[in-house]
Amino acid sequence: MAIAILYREELKEYDFGPGHPFRGDRYEIFPKFLEENLPEDDNYRILKAEQAIDEDLGLICHKDYIDFTRGYFKAANLGLTYPGSFSRYHSGDNMPRGKPGRLEEAARLMIGQAKKAVDLIQAGEYEKVICIGGNMHHAKPSYGEGFCIYNDNAFAAKYSMERYGVERILILDTDAHQGNGTCEYFYSDPKVLFIDLHQDPRTLYPGVGFADEIGEGAGKGYTINLPMPIYAGYDSYQLVFEEIVQPVAREFKPQIIIRNGGSDPHFADGLTNLGLSVKGFRMIGEKVREMVQICQGKEIDIIGSGYNKEVLPYAWLALISGLADFKIGVEEPLPIPQRFQTDPSFEATKKVVEQIKKYHKDYWKCLG
């Protein structure tokens, strides 16, 4: 069965301007690379979503935040100033530079894609839907940060619950940065199991996501933070999936899985210090493909991050190929440095796994 890929060229407007780490050209680079390396045929269907309206955004954001964000970024695109305190609603890294794109409109499109992905799956039209663009996992109900404006991962989960009555959702965040926004949305909600693999927060923004942050109230035990040691590579990620992620998923029995994350765990990413090769991204996709058997194949994949544009299309395609079982080879675009020929952090990752089991053994039989 072909998978659905949600994309439209307007996503390139998600561009913070010259000199900013997050530019919109990623949404031109990857679709071209995909088309050149894998024909649509029976493999996938490219579909288009519409922008979210205010009513949609109200599911995850406060009205004053929506109003300010719409006004500010529209003015910025036109080269105008906008009244109000930017720092009240956004961190400095969301400040556009020079001539940014139509950021807020593109951010609404990302929410629209998340909404359409849920609708397609719940209608039984597709089992797997991939959103090209998004993964805005740092955004919160009334505060945007980390290059994120509206949190599409949180929206997909909340919309699934509100519109379709879904009661068990697994959000799997494999971005190199901890998804602090998504985590806060569901920190006390036992309907959402949030598992996050990210670089050790002592060494990377946003500085949260330690192993002992396990949820609160009714949601205690339903947040599993996996702080990966710096330079963690293929063996470390495989271990964490086999020892923690997959066993807990089987025990939780989600009705749908939402995975988010792009290429920034790659060893050559410009903002992070992990050690995955392109082969490792395919493995992540394969592990998720195994996991979705628990929920009749229902999975939404939201791909957006990565800060080495030479690596980004290869890693994104490897993720998708693993997830959809596409029988194509995706080469490593860069020479693998000697220190990453084997996983230099495997022993340290074993200790992290034991630490996770200690914190969660009272909540998950498989970790006891």
The letter for the amino acid at 288 is: V
Residue 197's SS3 state is: strand
Residue 330's SS3 state is: coil
Helix 63-77 and helix 103-122: axis angle, to 10°?
130
Q: Is the peptide bond before 206 cis (omega within 30 degrees of 0)?
A: yes
Max intra-chain CA distance, the chain: 58
Pairing assessment for the beta strands 256-260 and 169-173 based on DSSP bridges? parallel
- Strand runs (DSSP E) across the chain, as ranges? 3-6, 44-47, 128-132, 169-173, 192-199, 223-228, 256-260, 299-303
Digit-by-digit pLDDT tens for the chain (368 residues) are: 689 999 999 999 999 999 999 999 999 999 999 999 998 988 999 999 999 999 999 999 999 999 999 999 999 999 999 999 999 999 999 999 999 999 999 999 999 999 999 999 999 999 999 999 999 999 999 999 999 999 999 999 999 999 999 999 999 999 999 999 999 999 999 999 999 999 999 999 999 999 999 999 999 999 999 999 999 999 999 999 999 999 999 999 999 999 999 999 999 999 999 999 999 999 999 999 999 999 999 999 999 999 999 999 999 999 999 999 999 999 999 999 999 999 999 999 999 999 999 999 999 999 99
| Residue corresponding to tokens 């020929």 | 341
Q: 26 near 313, Cβ under 8 Å?
A: no
Alpha carbons within 13 A on the beta-carbon side of 61: 30
Going from the C-alpha of 73 to that of each of 80, 94, 335, the distances in angstroms are 9, 10, 40
Is 138 a residue of the active site? Answer: yes
Q: 201 near 230, Cβ under 8 Å?
A: no
Q: 144 near 91, Cβ under 8 Å?
A: yes
Q: 118 near 157, Cβ under 8 Å?
A: no
What CATH homologous superfamily does 3-367 map to?
Histone deacetylase domain (3.40.800.20)
The whole-model pTM stands at 0.98
The DSSP bridge partners found for residue 6 are 47, 131
Report the pLDDT value the prediction gives residue 2, as an integer from 0 to 100.
Answer: 84
From 90, 137, 138, 360, the catalytic residue: 138
Q: Residue ranges of the domains in the chain?
A: 3-367
Report the pLDDT value the prediction gives residue 41, as an integer from 0 to 100.
Answer: 84
Alpha carbons within 13 A on the beta-carbon side of 283: 17
